[in-house]
Amino acid sequence: MQPRKVTTALAVLGIFAGALTAAHALPTANAQNAPAVAAPTVRAAQLPDFAAIVQQYGPAVVNITTAGTRRAAASAGQVPSPEFFRGAPQPEVPTQGQGSGFIISAEGIVLTNAHVVQGAGEITVKLTDRREFRARLLGTDAATDVAVLRVDAANLPVVRLGNPARARVGDWVLAIGSPFGFENSVTAGIVSAKGRSLPGDAYVPFIQTDVAVNPGNSGGPLFSLNGEVIGINSQIYSRSGGYQGLSFAIPIDVVLRVKDQIVATGRASHARLGINVQTLNQALADAFGLERAAGGLIASVAPGSPAEKAGLQPGDVVLEFNGRPVADSGQLAGMVGESKPGDRARVEVWRKGKKLEFVATLGATPDAATPSAAVDAPAGEGRLGLAVRPLTPQERKAAHVTGGLLVQGVNGAASRAGMAAGDIVLQAGGKPVGSVEELRAATQSAKTVALLVQRGTRRLFVPLLAG
Give CA separation, 311 vs 85, 273, 348, in Å. Answer: 54, 12, 12
261 shares a domain with 279: no
80 shares a domain with 219: yes
435 shares a domain with 414: yes
Average pLDDT rounded to a whole number, residues 85-110: 77
285 shares a domain with 247: no
Structure confidence at residue 76 as a pLDDT band (50, 70, 90): very low
Q: What is the pLDDT of residue 30?
A: 42
Q: What is the pLDDT of residue 153?
A: 93
Average pLDDT rounded to a whole number, residues 218-231: 96
Report the number of distinct structural domains present in the chain: 3
The predicted-structure confidence for 351-380, as pLDDT tens digits, reads as follows: 989 999 999 999 987 654 444 444 433 333
Question: Is the pLDDT confidence value at 34 over 50?
Answer: no
Has residue 21 been placed in a domain?
no
Question: Is the pLDDT confidence value at 252 over 80?
Answer: yes
Distance, CA of 229 to CA of 304 (rounded, Å): 40
360 shares a domain with 388: no
Q: Is 400 a catalytic residue?
A: no
Catalytic residue among 100, 178, 185, 218: 218
Distance, CA of 197 to CA of 202 (rounded, Å): 7
- Domain of residue 173, residue span: 1-13+48-267
355 shares a domain with 281: yes
Catalytic residue among 100, 115, 305, 328: 115
Lowest mean pLDDT among 172-176, 362-366, 402-406: 362-366
> Last residue of some domain: 307, 331, 364?
364
Lowest mean pLDDT among 87-96, 209-218, 397-406: 87-96
Has residue 27 been placed in a domain?
no
In degrees to the nearest 10, what's the CA dihedral of 312, 313, 319, 321?
Answer: 30
Q: What is the pLDDT of residue 3?
A: 62
Q: Is 145 a catalytic residue?
A: yes
Average pLDDT rounded to a whole number, residues 4-32: 39
> Last residue of some domain: 314, 345, 364?
364
Has residue 19 been placed in a domain?
no
Catalytic residue among 141, 145, 201, 423: 145
Has residue 41 been placed in a domain?
no
330 shares a domain with 298: yes
Output the domain CATH number for residue 288.
Answer: 2.30.42.10
Residue 114 contacts residue 203 (beta carbons within 8 Å) = no
Structure confidence at residue 255 as a pLDDT band (50, 70, 90): very high
Listed residue (339, 367, 345) closest to 357, CA to CA: 345
The predicted-structure confidence for 431-452, as pLDDT tens digits, reads as follows: 899 888 788 888 776 667 778 8
The predicted-structure confidence for 304-319, as pLDDT tens digits, reads as follows: 899 999 999 998 999 9
Has residue 37 been placed in a domain?
no
> Last residue of some domain: 310, 333, 364?
364
379 shares a domain with 352: no
Output the domain CATH number for residue 140.
Answer: 2.40.10.120
Core vs surface per residue 204-242: b (16+ CB within 10 A) or e = bbbbbbbbbbbbbbbbbbbbbbebbbbbbbbbbbbeeee
Angle value at C-alpha 255, between 116 and 206, nearest 5 degrees: 85
Lowest mean pLDDT among 20-24, 147-151, 183-187: 20-24
Q: What is the pLDDT of residue 45?
A: 59
Structure confidence at residue 95 as a pLDDT band (50, 70, 90): confident
3-class state of residue 131 by DSSP: coil
Of the chain, the percentage scoring pLDDT greater than 90 comes to 42
- pLDDT higher for 135 or 385? 135
419 shares a domain with 353: no
Distance, CA of 116 to CA of 146 (rounded, Å): 9
Has residue 28 been placed in a domain?
no
Question: Is the pLDDT confidence value at 19 over 70?
Answer: no
Structure confidence at residue 14 as a pLDDT band (50, 70, 90): very low
Has residue 308 been placed in a domain?
yes
Return all residues near 4 (Cβ < 8 A) that are at least 6 apart: 215, 235, 236, 237, 238, 241
325 shares a domain with 206: no
The predicted-structure confidence for 193-216, as pLDDT tens digits, reads as follows: 998 877 666 678 899 999 999 989
Q: What is the pLDDT of residue 17?
A: 36
Has residue 33 been placed in a domain?
no
Distance, CA of 378 to CA of 120 (rounded, Å): 9
340 shares a domain with 425: no
360 shares a domain with 389: no
